Amino acid sequence: MKQFRPLAFSGLLGLAAAVPFAKRDLVTVVVTQEVVETIDITTTVWVPAGGAAATPTSVFVNNAYSNSFPAASSTSSSQSLPPAAAISKARSSKPPVHSPVPQPPSSSSSSTSSTASPSAPVYTPPAYTSPTTSQVQTPATPASPATTSCLPYPNPATTAGVLPGAYSPASCNSGSQACSGEITYYDVGMGACGIVSAANESVIALSYLMMGTGSNSNPLCGKTVTIHNANTGVSAQATVVDKCMGCCDPESIDLSDSLFEALNGGSLTAGRVSSGVTWYFND
């Protein structure tokens, strides 16, 4: 018996090898796994005092809007739909037109007409108090303009020996009767005497206080004078050709550039010489 079993088993293997096997077709097996997802949909509905249901509001489901119609007797409800149905309904529905959600009526609306609205507070200005002496600011008194010694032109008075409209007689003579006043310089040209002069000429303008109102026919026009500057020791001759309206001293004179330089060491730097200068008419 111990030798028969191996022989029988080997015989069966030989018989199996001799019998041909039929090939089977390839079979595809599809395994479907179903996933169930529960989505909660909540809708809030405002119910008026009469109890009738309000217009349903829009619900947002899985990135899409869906309309929900709650029961009329419920003020708020929560319902669960199958996931496939909820998603299909949400995708197929069009986005709603956003209309104002009806607000619940105010409990005090019925009494609005009978209750008076509060009035705005009335502004009452503070009582006026008169300022004290320390609070009153006294405006500063503007400084009066500096007075000058220039007299109005012309002089309305008539004085013997004085030219019409003048204040001072032309009595500047040599010796003790010489005049002493300031000397300045100016740009010469057509003068009050009707004479055209140049800067290199030795000409002067007398004060309007001495010449008066006369111009071309003024008796002082064309007269010659001698001027001496004690500060430099220089004397010079000059001719009257103009009237100095800025000479507020009757004895002050205005000189051409070259004449002023000749009396002041060849320079115009001084500009005005207020002392040490005398002058007089030659005839």
> Rounded CA gap, 281 and 239, in Å?
10
Question: Residue 129: is its pLDDT beyond 70?
Answer: yes
Question: Residue 3: is its pLDDT beyond 60?
Answer: no
Question: Residue 162: is its pLDDT beyond 90?
Answer: yes
Mean pLDDT over all residues of the chain? 75
Neighbours of 120 (CB within 10 A): 6
Distance, C-alpha 69 to centroid of its chain: 62
Question: Residue 71: is its pLDDT beyond 50?
Answer: no
Going by C-beta distance under 8 Å and a sequence separation of 6 or more, which residues neighbour residue 58? Answer: 65, 66, 67, 68, 96
Helix (H, G, I), strand (E, B) or coil at 4: helix
Question: Residue 243: is its pLDDT beyond 90?
Answer: yes
**What is the mean predicted confidence (pLDDT) over 188-198?**
96
Q: Write out pLDDT tens, residues 83-117.
A: 555 555 555 555 555 555 556 555 544 444 445 55
Contact status, residue 274 vs residue 178, Cβ threshold 8 Å: no
Question: Residue 124: is its pLDDT beyond 60?
Answer: yes
Going by C-beta distance under 8 Å and a sequence separation of 6 or more, which residues neighbour residue 170? Answer: 163, 206, 210, 220, 281
Per-residue confidence (pLDDT) for residue 99, from 0 to 100: 55
Least confident of 72-81, 168-177, 213-222: 72-81
Contact status, residue 208 vs residue 153, Cβ threshold 8 Å: yes
**What is the mean predicted confidence (pLDDT) over 226-246?**
97
Per-residue confidence (pLDDT) for residue 9, from 0 to 100: 53
**pTM for the whole structure:** 0.49
Per the model's pLDDT, the better-predicted residue between 240 and 105 turns out to be 240
> Rounded CA gap, 170 and 159, in Å?
12
Question: Considering the chain, what percentage of its residues have pLDDT values greater than 70?
Answer: 57
Per the model's pLDDT, the better-predicted residue between 29 and 219 turns out to be 219
Closest CA to 206 of 190, 225, 189: 225
Does residue 251 come out as left (phi exceeding 0), alpha (psi in the -120 to 50 range) or beta?
alpha
> Rounded CA gap, 207 and 77, in Å?
114
Question: Residue 43: is its pLDDT beyond 80?
Answer: no
Question: Residue 55: is its pLDDT beyond 80?
Answer: no
Per-residue confidence (pLDDT) for residue 166, from 0 to 100: 95
Question: Residue 123: is its pLDDT beyond 80?
Answer: no
